[in-house]
Chain A
Amino acid sequence: MSRLGDSPIWQSFRRKPAGLIGLAIVIVILLAAILADWIAPYPTHAGPIGDFAAISAPPSAQYWFGTDAIGRDLLTRILFAYRLSLELAAVVLAIATPVGVVIGLLAGYLGPVPSWLLMRLTDVFLSIPPLVLAMSIMGFLEPSAIHGMMAVTAMWWPWYARLTYNLTRAERQEGYVLAAETVGAGLPHILFREILPNCMPSIFTKMIIDVGFVILIASSLSFLGLGAQAPTPDLGSMVADGAKYMPDGWWLTVFPALAILLVVMGFNLLGDALREAVDARR
């Protein structure tokens, strides 16, 4: 802890109120998602069955965010939906980042032909609007949370390929890379032991911001009915379902919508402040 406290990045980060607010939001949401089983007021409402005595109840002291058309507590469902969203984002980034980073490293370090091929491949993926690409992949799969995850992963790696490519291009002329080449270091050593560590801060801060944006895209897919299916609690499909009860059942739409806004904004603020702190150190 003392090492973290002394690090220049933390010293710079702690002076940014926006970043600290983001950090607070992220910690609260992470805790809420992990502890959902214990802190949710009606844990059984995460499934298909609600309380038929309390159908479509507006927000009250008993149900803070109200209940839905079959009497399920909305707050409970949002907490469990956070858990699903965060799991999804973690899986997507855990797969998309290494793939993109390896392609970016290779394209940035190797000669012009492999570099041209790899970056044109990246361009092809980037020339289809992200949501449309994910949707078209869903077109060949049955809608479900897992398939949604696969579709988002397939569209996410090119961003890391492009970022890592640009970073690698900047690093490959640095003295330490030339030194490693001179002593005859192999390709994997140069890419992963020399260049990659210097790209890590930028990649890592992008990952933090992207947690929010993966959740945003995934909720967009499920809003269109192409993601998690009922009765799984999911932020996007909750907004879509709630829209059917507008304007009288406004809470069914407004609270899940605000929940998406909060999580995306939290990771955005945190990631931005981290990036500024990392850049300031350089």
Chain B
Amino acid sequence: MPPLLKTLLHRLIASLVVLAGVSMLMFAIARLIPGDPARIALGPNATEEQVRILRHDRHLDQPVPEQYWFYVTELAHGNLGNSLYSNRPVAVDIAQYLPATLELVLTSGLLMVAIGIPVGILSARYRGKIGDHASRLLALAGVSTPAFVWGVILQLVFAYMLHLFPIEGRLSTAITPPPLVTGFVTIDAILSGNVVALVDAWHHLVLPALALAAAGIGQSARLTRNSMVETYQKPFIEMARAYGFRESRIASRYAFRPALVPVLTILGLDLAALLGNAFLVEAVFGWPGLSRYGVEVILHKDLDAIVGVVLIISTAFLLANIAVDIAVAIVNPRIRLAGGR
């Protein structure tokens, strides 16, 4: 088996084990919390009879191991249960709201890489200069500020005061949304050749994506810088210098690639933060993603929906980490050729 495939398979199996663990954890949380889940879900005004019916429907009147068995078999069939809040299958709800969240998270991830890594490279080349100190300060501010604070500040300055960007939403009301294909408005607009909708969607995406990416941009800039500084001290860079290669070539060809490995690894972990913080940013910018749904079902004690949202987000996170592992394997010849650990 090619080493890369082996690494991939190994990671996939490990992720499935963790995902099974997550499902058990969510089940445990839902059952360990004091009180009757059916009563909590229906609220204090429901009759005893209603509670009894729901308890029976959800197998809550069975012993716990059998409850878990029902829960797992339903999950295996892709059935996440029904939302008491929306009266629809949880899977349908999630399918409706997830694309908007993913569009936001992926755009932020791109911004993190596209801004953070170049800033880090420049900081490493001009180490100790004013720009390096400025980027250090910005990175600190980025990490120390919750995403919702970035959101309200960016919104205040660039939307309310300067009127450069829309205040909230995903698309202006005057614009007809492009036909639904992927659920990503930007991609759907490209697919249907709708330039006006594409520009408008990008316009709406800028501030939320920046607010979400702010912490990650700072972190990836610092990591890239430190990793580059370390690589610059290696003998092979000295060798390249001795050959008289131009500094720009040394930076882009020899120092950058080894320096990228730790940065990519941390980026994978950062995706967890992005997926979580998306909830905050969506709340600030009225972004029609999983957040509003998630908060509503939490406030309504909608058990199946809460479990569904957490499972989907954990799956997205694990998949993203596998993608990052593959990227690391491609960049790092030691992993690419030797086949994992």
Chain A 197-218 per-residue mask, 1 if CB under 8 angstroms from chain B, else 0: 0000000000000001000100
Is the Cβ of B283 less than 8 Å from the Cβ of A140? no
Q: List A150-182 residues whose CB lies under 8 Å from chain B.
A: none
Question: Is B242 positioned at the interface, with any CB of A under 8 Å from its CB?
Answer: no
Question: Is A35 positioned at the interface, with any CB of B under 8 Å from its CB?
Answer: no
Chain B 275-302 per-residue mask, 1 if CB under 8 angstroms from chain A, else 0: 1110110011000000000110111011
Q: Nearest residue in A to B310 (C-beta to C-beta)?
A: A136
Alpha-carbon distance between A28 and B289 when the two chains are bound, in angstroms: 40
Question: Is A5 positioned at the interface, with any CB of B under 8 Å from its CB?
Answer: no
Question: Is B115 positioned at the interface, with any CB of A under 8 Å from its CB?
Answer: no
Complex interface: chain A residues within 8 A of B76 (CB)? none
Alpha-carbon distance between A242 and B276 when the two chains are bound, in angstroms: 22
Complex interface: chain A residues within 8 A of B273 (CB)? 129-131
Complex interface: chain B residues within 8 A of A226 (CB)? 295, 298
Complex interface: chain B residues within 8 A of A121 (CB)? 21
Chain A 120-161 per-residue mask, 1 if CB under 8 angstroms from chain B, else 0: 110111111111110111111101000000000000000000
Is the Cβ of A220 less than 8 Å from the Cβ of B155? no
Alpha-carbon distance between A90 and B155 when the two chains are bound, in angstroms: 33
Alpha-carbon distance between A219 and B152 when the two chains are bound, in angstroms: 14
Is the Cβ of A212 less than 8 Å from the Cβ of B26? no
Question: Is B126 positioned at the interface, with any CB of A under 8 Å from its CB?
Answer: no
Question: Is B239 positioned at the interface, with any CB of A under 8 Å from its CB?
Answer: no
Is the Cβ of A223 less than 8 Å from the Cβ of B280? yes
How many residues of B are in contact with the other chain, CB < 8 A?
52
Alpha-carbon distance between A126 and B144 when the two chains are bound, in angstroms: 21
Is the Cβ of B140 less than 8 Å from the Cβ of A135? no
Is the Cβ of A246 less than 8 Å from the Cβ of B155? yes
Q: Nearest residue in A to B161 (C-beta to C-beta)?
A: A247
Alpha-carbon distance between A261 and B26 when the two chains are bound, in angstroms: 32
Q: Nearest residue in B to A264 (C-beta to C-beta)?
A: B144
Given A129-B272, A250-B156; A140-B30 close (CB under 8 Å):
yes
Q: Of B33, B144, B302, which contacts A261 at CB under 8 A?
A: B144
Chain A 242-282 per-residue mask, 1 if CB under 8 angstroms from chain B, else 0: 11001100100110010011001100110000000000000
Q: Of A123, A127, A220, A260, which contacts B280 at CB under 8 A?
A: A220
Is the Cβ of A127 less than 8 Å from the Cβ of B317? yes
Is the Cβ of A128 less than 8 Å from the Cβ of B301? no
Given A246-B155, A250-B156; A223-B148 close (CB under 8 Å):
yes
Question: Is A187 positioned at the interface, with any CB of B under 8 Å from its CB?
Answer: no
Question: Is B5 positioned at the interface, with any CB of A under 8 Å from its CB?
Answer: no
Complex interface: chain A residues within 8 A of B277 (CB)? 131, 220
Chain A: interface size category? 35 or more
Is the Cβ of B299 less than 8 Å from the Cβ of A225? yes
Alpha-carbon distance between A242 and B294 when the two chains are bound, in angstroms: 22
Q: How far is the CB of A163 from chain B (nearest CB, A)?
A: 14
Question: Is A191 positioned at the interface, with any CB of B under 8 Å from its CB?
Answer: no
Q: Nearest residue in A to B271 (C-beta to C-beta)?
A: A129
Question: Is B29 positioned at the interface, with any CB of A under 8 Å from its CB?
Answer: yes
Chain A 210-244 per-residue mask, 1 if CB under 8 angstroms from chain B, else 0: 00100010011001111000000000100110110
Complex interface: chain B residues within 8 A of A265 (CB)? 140-141, 144
Given A140-B30, A226-B298; A135-B279 close (CB under 8 Å):
yes
Alpha-carbon distance between A212 and B152 when the two chains are bound, in angstroms: 20
Is the Cβ of B29 less than 8 Å from the Cβ of A140? yes
Is the Cβ of B149 less than 8 Å from the Cβ of A130? no
Q: List B115-164 residues whose CB lies under 8 Å from chain A.
A: 140-141, 143-149, 152-153, 155-156, 160-161
Q: How far is the CB of B227 from chain A (nearest CB, A)?
A: 17
Alpha-carbon distance between A124 and B309 when the two chains are bound, in angstroms: 16
Q: Nearest residue in B to A272 (C-beta to C-beta)?
A: B140
Given A133-B310, A224-B283, A254-B156; A260-B22 close (CB under 8 Å):
no
Chain A 97-135 per-residue mask, 1 if CB under 8 angstroms from chain B, else 0: 000000000000000000000001101111111111101
26 contacts between A and B (CB under 8 A): A120-B18, A128-B313, A128-B317, A129-B273, A131-B280, A132-B275, A133-B310, A135-B294, A136-B306, A136-B310, A137-B29, A138-B298, A139-B303, A140-B40, A141-B33, A220-B146, A224-B280, A240-B148, A246-B152, A246-B155, A246-B156, A253-B156, A257-B145, A260-B145, A260-B146, A261-B149
Knowing that A140-B306, A261-B145, A269-B140 touch, tell me 11 more A-B residue pairs with CB under 8 angstroms.
A121-B21, A123-B21, A127-B317, A132-B309, A135-B279, A137-B29, A139-B298, A140-B301, A246-B156, A253-B152, A260-B149
* Nearest 5 pairs of A and B residues by beta carbon: A129-B276, A131-B276, A124-B21, A247-B160, A265-B144
B positions within 8 Å CB-CB of A: 17-19, 21-22, 24-26, 29-30, 33, 40, 140-141, 143-149, 152-153, 155-156, 160-161, 272-273, 275-277, 279-280, 283-284, 294-295, 297-299, 301-303, 306-307, 309-310, 313-314, 317-318
